[in-house]
Amino acid sequence: MQRIGVLGGMMDPVHSGHIQAAEAALNAGLDRVLLAPCQTPAHRPAALASAAHRLEMCRIAARADARLEVSDIELRGDTCYAVDTVPLLSQRYPGAQIVWIAGADKLPSLSRWYQAEALFAACEFYVFPRPGYDAACPVPGARIRVLSGTQMDVSSGSVVERLRRLDDAEGLLPPGVGRYMAANGLYQPDYEPALLQYGMGEKRMAHTLGVRATAAALAERHGAPVQAAGVAGMLHDIAKPLPLERMRELALKYRLNLPEAVMNSGNLLHGPLAAAIVEHEIGITDKRVLSAIACHTTGKMGMSMLDKVLYIADAIEPGRADYPGLSEIRAAAETDLDAAVLMSMERTRDYVLARGLTFSEEYQRMIEDMKRQKEERT
Ligand SMILES: [Fe+2]
Ligand SMILES: [Fe+2]
């Protein structure tokens, strides 16, 4: 007989502790475990991420083990009771035995679950120990098996708190989940109203979302901070819709000490100005984010990994109209971010020279710097 475990909960977001509990249940003899995010219970504040996003994060997390699956069974209405879920699953999986997986923290309240007696008759409980909770807490009438091991001390709340600080919560998220969050702006403030307030239109908004997703993916691939990459991508062009006159006014207001060539070009000035706006008006103080935003137009000497990630994400996001060299830069970005940055800078130089414009010495020095870095590594 097939034995199927259900791991429910808000999963807002799913974290490594959930996967660890699911693995422990599988090791205890289950054939598969369903990750089943639930609707917000009536007595709890609304989930931070939508049901669709929570489900998708579970799908990504489930890639870790072929015996893990994702189910929307607990998203069927406003209130989902386990006592109703179990027979529905029995219908979906005829002949299977359903096992409910729960943390030891749930034990003290288990007998108050809706129609607990009927639920206890319908399924067995696998309980994973949690730090600070008694896994041997008796629950009259319930069939309980305590799983071995102790679940890591992690909660969705503690993960969210770290994400808010643009900390990647390393080791606490299943592979790929952090990238998905950053690519979609989950667990971060909604910056769209601020972008609209600065006059961002539909087309540039689409570019912005493309840069956010690309920056998150590049950061994950190249070991740069992923959440910071997402936020930098979202805000990098906040100053771009402003007329040059207004940009210059704001640059003076924020005492940006910039070369004349930058002050005279909206294409260059919107980078450093965006960093000032993000710092002083939006209140982001993360130096990594501010640096990446500031130099996404001009580049700089000694760019950090995140600086390079945003620089290239801006150049290759999927909505970019084709330009000479784009496919080569995209290909390079997969494996060698430095090579991609160098190609992109050289392309900009060639473009500027071809139009008979002056090319700054500073930029040439950056190109030489990137070449030197590249040679040093080979
Ligand atoms: Fe830009
Ligand atoms: Fe951009």
Q: Is residue 95 part of a domain?
A: yes
- State the amino acid at position 311 in one-letter form: Y
Residue 155 backbone phi and psi in degrees, to 5: -130, 160
CA of 290 to the centre of ligand 2 (A): 15
Does residue 42 register a pLDDT over 80?
A: no
Query: Are 86 and 30 part of one and the same domain?
Result: yes
Return the structure tokens found at 4: 């199927």
Query: Are 195 and 278 part of one and the same domain?
Result: yes
Q: What is the pLDDT of residues 205-258, one digit of tens each?
A: 999 999 999 999 999 999 999 999 999 999 999 999 999 999 999 999 999 999
Query: Are 146 and 10 part of one and the same domain?
Result: yes
Average pLDDT on 165-172 reads 96
Q: Is residue 195 part of a domain?
A: yes
State the total domains in the chain: 2
d(CA 265, CA 248): 10
Q: What is the pLDDT of residues 101-138, one digit of tens each?
A: 999 989 999 999 999 999 999 999 999 998 888 888 88
Residue 247: its H or E element: helix 244-253
- With CA atoms as reference, report the closest residue to 163 among 180, 143, 149: 180
CA of 226 to the centre of ligand 1 (A): 19
d(CA 13, CA 67): 20
CA of 240 to the centre of ligand 1 (A): 6
Q: Is residue 303 part of a domain?
A: yes
CATH number for the domain that contains residue 89: 3.40.50.620
Q: Is residue 133 part of a domain?
A: yes
* pLDDT of the residue at 21: 94
Query: Are 198 and 125 part of one and the same domain?
Result: no
Q: Determine the distance from the C-alpha atom of residue 320 to the mean position of all C-alpha atoms in its chain, rounded to a whole number.
A: 22
Beta strands per DSSP E along the chain: 3-7, 32-35, 68-70, 97-103, 124-128, 144-146
Residue 146 backbone phi and psi in degrees, to 5: -90, 125
pLDDT band at 153 (very low <50, low <70, confident <90, very high): confident
- With CA atoms as reference, report the closest residue to 224 among 294, 291, 320: 291
Half-sphere exposure of 368 (CA within 13 A, CB side): 6
CA of 268 to the centre of ligand 2 (A): 11
C-beta separation of 135 from 104 below 8 A: yes
Query: Are 145 and 198 part of one and the same domain?
Result: no
Out of 96, 128, 154, pick the residue that ends a domain: 154
Q: Is residue 375 part of a domain?
A: no
Query: Are 209 and 145 part of one and the same domain?
Result: no
Q: Is residue 365 part of a domain?
A: no
Out of 136, 154, 172, pick the residue that ends a domain: 154
What distances in angstroms separate CA 357 from CA 29, 65, 69, 237, 348, one per listed residue? 70, 56, 57, 24, 11
Q: Which domain holds residue 111?
A: 3-154
pLDDT band at 360 (very low <50, low <70, confident <90, very high): confident
Query: Are 8 and 148 part of one and the same domain?
Result: yes
Query: Are 133 and 26 part of one and the same domain?
Result: yes
C-beta separation of 163 from 144 below 8 A: no
The residue with greater pLDDT, 366 or 99, is 99
pTM: 0.94
Query: Are 111 and 16 part of one and the same domain?
Result: yes
Helices and strands counted in the chain (H then E): 17, 6
What distances in angstroms separate CA 376 from CA 299, 307, 333, 366, one per listed residue? 20, 19, 19, 15
Out of 107, 135, 154, pick the residue that ends a domain: 154
Query: Are 136 and 67 part of one and the same domain?
Result: yes
Which residues neighbour ligand 2 (ion) by CB within 5 Å?
237, 314
pLDDT band at 44 (very low <50, low <70, confident <90, very high): confident
Q: Is residue 210 part of a domain?
A: yes
Mean pLDDT check: name the lowest of 201-210, 304-313, 354-363. 354-363
Contacts of 52 (CB under 8 A, 6+ apart): none
Q: Is residue 180 part of a domain?
A: no
CATH number for the domain that contains residue 208: 1.10.3210.10
Question: What rounded mean pLDDT belongs to the chain?
Answer: 93
Query: Are 97 and 201 part of one and the same domain?
Result: no
CA of 163 to the centre of ligand 2 (A): 24
